[in-house]
Structures are given as structure tokens and as C-alpha cells.
Structure 1
């Protein structure tokens, strides 16, 4: 669960535990009238950024905000799809490596997402987003480099019959090495790469959390805080970008792997991540500079600093216990507050769906590829079909709400 936001922002949004997504509901609540309204407030409104009449500057800044989100979500969707395909291509007889990546990514997010989300209230906006972008790109580059670099590391130690597949020379030995049935060098190399992949994926999940909280839960709300229709429109466009990225990215990865092989696909994805890093830095800089409202309250953040860690070895352990106690009290208070909210029951209902309904996540992709033998293109098409049904739901939802009411529409959707 994300840490509570400052009082000035809490009125604008209420955070719920991680892994529970309500963005689809937000977009589904759009009416036809709201769809027809312009993204930028018209004359007489305070408009985006509280600057009054809409200007070309606003439009350019909003375009940069959406471009950054397109780049970030598309790159993330490519990684989410490709990383599990790559792992199962190497470890064909087991789902354990892919499951470890999924397990530790979710577990790390559960334990640390509250702290990461709380950085929004303690770190300057532009600095936090820059750090999140840098972390995202670094961890993706690191994992893609691991996939590609194994051939160079083990060159001369293992004879490979071809270099057109993922992990180069490790491919013929990775399955046996995973179970310990190989030379110590190969076993050590295989497990080192796997552990690093799990670690980088977990840290990447935290960076994605920081980016989501900073942009979607802070920047967007702050920019459009005096223009509710514009806020709805921004949230809608962001959600559509998310869905379209999930639709297009798997197809893009499958085309690369089908026609060029896994090393070719990994190389293209690595170059794409590197190329978009500078572009995203530029876009967030434009948004921050052209919406002065984002700079409000930054001085107060600059004065907020965490207490310095004790230098004495004798006082270090009590300090750690003190910090752990504070963290536990904060988390307990957050959950107690959440339980009292009217949306608690519906949140639990949505969360239970994830326990009872198959989701096209990485573990499921690994299963159907390993156990069923489906090729990458077919898996991508099936996942794309799931995204299309999600887009259809955003069209059906406002009509159901008009016909039978919001609560009944939600109940029917759960059933």
C-alpha cells in the first residue's frame, strides 16, 4: 500500500493497496458529454496548471506528458512480455525461474511500495521522476545485457552450436545447470544470471511504482486540480495508453523474436530502452517547466529530510528496531484507515477476482509456452484479445451505469 500523501493532496485522491487497479473504473465512468469536452480548459476556467485560458504552451506540455507516458508504458509492457518469454526459452522444463521473477517482484512491491510511494511527499517532483526514469532504464538495460552478455562471458568455456538463441552458449546447458547437473562453472553462471535477473526485476517493479505514483497520482492531479473535466480526460488518455501499450507491445516483441530470433529481439529492445531514456528526461523537463503549479510546495520538501543514520555501531541496532517499529505503526494505521473507507468491501471483491480468475501475466505466459508449446505470435494475439475486451468494457460501462446504475453495474461486472 502506498504511503499516505500530504493533506493538500489527500483531498484529491485516495490511495488503496498496491496491485488493486481502479483506473479501468475511472475511465468507464466517462459520459458521452465528457468525451466531447476538450482536454484543455476553455476561457473562464482556471485550466490546467491553474493558469486560466488554455494556451499553446499547455497543449505542448500535455503532449509531452502523454508522450512520456507512451514511451514509459510501451517499454515496460515490452519488458514484461519479453522477459518471461526469454526465461522460458532457456528453461524449457521448469516454470520455477519465471515464477521466481513474478514472486519476488510482487513480494518486493508489497513490502516496499508504501515507502516508495511516500517519497512523493519528501522528494522534489522533478528529481523523483528523473530518479525513477533512470532506475527503470538502468534495470532494463542490465537485464537485457545479461541476456546478451552471457555469450561473451562464457566464450571459450563452452562450445555452442549456434549463436542465434537467447543466452548463446548457455542454452544447451541451462536446464541441466538449473538442477545442478553441469560443471560448477556453468551452474554458477546460470544461477548468477538468474539471481541477478530476479533482483533487477524486483527493483524495476519499485521504480515502476514510483513512476506511477509520481505521474498518475501526483503530477496529473496537481496539473488539473482546478479543472475536474480535464482531470477525467487526462486520466482517460493515460488509461488508454496503458491498454494500447499492453495490446501492441506483445505483438511487437513476437514479431522481433519470430523473424529475427531472440538475440535480435533482445538487441532491439536494449537499443530502444537506451534511446528513449534521453527523450523521457526531456519530456518531463518540459512538463515541469511549463506547469508552474508543479513547483508549488517544493521548498517545503527541500527542508524535509530523514534523520541521519547513527554512526556508532552500538546505536545502529536500536535505530534499526526503532525504524522498523515506526514502519509497522504506519502500516497498521494505514490499513486501519483503509478498512474504514466505504470502498473497502468493493476493493476486497476486486482483489479476490485476481485469486480466482486467470490473468495474462508473466507466469501464465510462461506456462502456456512451456506446457502447451504455443508460439510467441499466438500468445501475443491471445493477450491482445484480452486487452481488446478491456477496451470494450470501457465503452460498455457508462451505458450500463446509465441503464441500471453504478452499484448494480459494478456488481454485475464482478459476477
Structure 2
């Protein structure tokens, strides 16, 4: 008990001692500033390496995404059923960084062959199609492991650790605040990590050195991530408590093993039926459709741009501009929701405000405050503006594509 108390006390910053409970200890519900900082550091290094390797290993990412579709649910179930939160998170960190390091080694073997090495003269291997094929298969396998472990790390951190240690609503470091910071960290890493890798390749003039840089970054980040995660875990009794795992009866397990593939398929589609019977499918489907776009900066689109002749520097700059807009949305959206939710800014639509408030009261109940009602109204209005702007831009882009296509056809016929 004394060691736990000492570890908690040494984990605090001086600014965290002025809590309303009047003592200098860790607040019973919520995070201290130092705990939150360590949580952010661990998450930042995880997302940094994930974004960097995603950008560096474009060729294999298309195959990796198919594997993600098949095995992601199994990873989520493993995270949910693991009793120790710390062991689960550390396993994903070690597995992820190890797969990046080993994958980088095999990419070096592929890129060091004589037909791919270019103007470099150091460490040149003779061209061997069999070795190249085997190396590519192994590198893709490690890429699949990297993506699955990154998915497990994300689930463990954002869906388990953050939810467990978050303070009650309205307090510092509540769930809304932690989610916003986590999202901002992800977007910043999405912006900076590819730029840094592209800059290394451009300055050094070697793709192989860029691969080595990616592997070394993963190697260096392992102790930092592990140290930060352990500090948060050591100071949080909530995280140290074993997770409640539902136990399956032996009869149920025997029935599951003896079921035919037809019944398993029926059960699989029954899950879809349960999903669409809830109200959560509407916002989750809307979020999924947000990425249903060929112009999204993913492996497919970036690989296509490289194949048609765009340089890596141009692609990096374009992606960076898009990431800047994404980061700005995390600042603009809360203020826009707050602005739209204030009724005095929309005096011309007074009757509609009453309808919105009546609908909001049906959701929140009469016991909720006026602030919650304004937030719901702001979400409705700001979301409507956002989707309307997306539709307008989609129609405009489609019109430009059609006009350009007709212009090419007319010019060709002439």
C-alpha cells in the first residue's frame, strides 16, 4: 500500500494538488495532469508510428486492408476478453513495433536488389525474383500484423483505458476532453509523420534510408510508450482492477463447436439484424460513409497518384494541406456547435427553435439543463450545414469532371 501511495504521489505535478477535495493526493475520479500527459505521450507515439508506416508501405496496404476486414473483429474480442489491461496494451505495442522493425528489414532486402537500388552503390544484392517474391510476401505478412496490432492498440487505448480513467462529465479530463485531445493527436501525427518521412527520403535521396528511419523510429518509441503506459497504470486503481470477463458455460462452448457453417452464417447475419434494430446504426453508418470516397488519402489513392507520375513530395504537400483542414475542424466544430445552439443568434427562426427544443427534451428529458438542449440544437444545425456543404461540393466536383470529360471527347473528335 505504501509503495502504491508513493508512486501516485511521485506521479503528480505541483499544479495538480489544488483539488476541491482539499488534499494533495490523486483525485478519486479522474486524471491528474501528469497522468493525462503520459496517456497522451503513449497514444502519440502509437499513432505516429502507425501513420508513418501506413505512408511508407503503400504497396502492401491494399492487401492489408482486406486482412483487416477479416480479422479486426477477432482482435476486438481478444482485447475485450483479456483480464489485464496493461498486459493487453503492452502486447499490442511490442507486437506492432516488432512487426514494423522486421517488416522494414525485409523491405530493405527487396529495395537493395540491383534492379531497384538505383544510383546507390552500398549494399547491393544481385537481382533474384524468388527472393524478391518471398521478401514481399513476408513484408506483407508483417504489414498485416502491424495493422491488426495497431487496431488492437487503438481499441485498448481509446475504448478501454480512456473510458476507464475519464473523469465524470464536467470535470477536467472528462471523456469528451480526452476524446478530443486523442483525435487531435491522431490528426497531428497524420500531418507531420508522412511529411517527415518524405523529407528524409528527399534530403537523403534514398528510399532505403527512409525505410531504415521508419524502423529506427519504431525501435526508439518502444521504451517511451511502455514507460508512459506503466506510469498511468501504476497510479490508477481503476486500470489495475481486473476486467470482468463473461464466462461461457461448457455446454454453450460445446454447442458452439458443433454448430454447422450454415447456422454460423445465420448467426452472423443475425448480428446485422441486431445492429440495424438499434438507433446507433444511423450515426455509425454516416461516419463510415464519410470514408467511402476514392479521393480519401489512403493507400489506394496514393498508389494511383504515384503510378500516374506524381512525385512523393507533391503528394505529401497535398496530404498535409488536407490534414491542416482536418485539424482545424477540431477547433471550429465545437465553437460552431456552441454558436448554432444559442437561440439569440437565430431570432428569425424562433418557431423552429421551439420545435428543436421540444425534440431535444424528448431525448434528454426535462431534468437536463438548458446547456444540453443548446448543444443538441447546435449539433443538429451544424451537422445540417456540414452535410449540405459536402453535397454542394460533391455536385460541383462531379460537374467539373463531366465538363472536363466532354471537353476531352470534343477535342479528340476534332
Q: d(CA) in 1 for partners of 2:165 and 2:30?
A: 14
- Does 2:46 correspond to 1:72? yes
Q: Go from structure 1 to structure 2 and tell me whether the alpha carbon gap of 1:151 and 1:228 turns closer, same or farther (over 3 Å shift).
A: same
2:231 corresponds, among 286, 307, 310, to 286
Counterpart in the other structure of 1:386: 322
Give the alignment of 1:252-267 within 5 angstroms. 252-260=196-204, 261-267=206-212
Contact kept, 8 Å, 1:50 with 1:224, in 2: the verdict is no
1:89-108 matches, cutoff 5 A = 98=59, 101-108=60-67
Q: Is contact 1:122-1:305 (8 Å) kept?
A: no
Specify the SS of the correspondent of 1:110: helix
* Superposed CA offset, 1:168-226 (max 9, x none): 547xx6xxxxxxxxxxxx22222212222222212211111111111001100100153
Pick closer, same or farther for the CA change 1:202–1:49 going to 2, 3 Å.
Answer: farther
Paired with 1:79 and 1:360, the residues of 2 have a C-alpha distance of 14
Is 1:348 paired with 2:292?
A: no
The 2-side partners of 1:348 and 1:113 are apart by 18
Q: Deviations over 1:50-98 (max 9, x none)?
A: 61597xxx322221111111111111111111112xxxxxxxxxxxxx2
Tell me how far apart the structure 2 counterparts of residues 369 and 193 of structure 1 sit (CA, whole Å). Answer: 22
The residue that corresponds to 1:81 in the other structure is 55
Aligned-pair RMSD on alpha carbons?
Answer: 3.6
The aligned residue for residue 24 of structure 1 is: none
Identify the residue that residue 178 of structure 2 maps to in structure 1: 234
Query: In structure 2, which of residues 59, 64, 72 is the aligned counterpart of residue 113 of structure 1?
Result: 72
Number of the residue aligned with 1:337: 274
Q: Is the 8 A contact 2:99 2:146 kept in 1?
A: yes
Deviation at 1:350, TM superposition (A): 3.4
Pick aligned residue for 1:163 from 120, 123, 130: 120
Aligned equivalents of 2:25, 2:266: Cα separation in 1:
37
Q: Counterpart in 2 of 1:374?
A: 310
Q: Say which SS state the counterpart of residue 384 (structure 2) adopts.
A: helix
Q: Evaluate the alpha carbon distance shift between residue 248 and residue 297 of structure 1 in structure 2; reply closer, same or farther with a 3 A threshold.
A: same
Please, which runs of 5 or more residues in structure 1 have no aligned partner?
A: 1-37, 85-97, 174-185
User: Residues 27-176 of structure 1: matches in 2 within 5 Å?
Assistant: 42-43=19-20, 51=28, 58-84=32-58, 98=59, 101-123=60-82, 124-150=84-110, 162-163=119-120, 168-169=124-125
TM-score, length-scaled by structure 2 = 0.70
How do residues 271-350 of structure 1 correspond to structure 2 at under 5 angstroms?
271-298=216-243, 300-301=244-245, 322=259, 328=265, 331-350=268-287
Deviations 1:19-40 (A, max 9, x none): xxxxxxxxxxxxxxxxxxx999
Q: Provide Cα deviations, 1:335-373, integer angstroms capped at 9, x if missing partner.
A: 3332122232333333334334510112211111221x2
The 1:306–1:66 alpha-carbon spacing in structure 2 relative to 1, beyond 3 Å, is: farther
Deviation at 1:48, TM superposition (A): 12
Count the aligned residue pairs.
Answer: 331
Q: Distance in 1 between matches of 2:17 and 2:271?
A: 35
Larger radius of gyration: 2
Report the TM-score, using the length of structure 1 for normalisation.
0.69
Give the match's secondary structure for 1:111.
Answer: helix
Q: Alpha-carbon deviation of 1:237?
A: 1.1
1:400 and 1:62, CA in 2 relative to 1: closer, same or farther beyond 3 A?
Answer: closer
Q: Does 1:202 align with 2:144?
A: yes
Is 2:100–2:218's contact at 8 Å kept on the other side of the alignment? yes
Q: Which runs of 5+ in 2 are unaligned?
A: 1-14, 342-377, 392-414
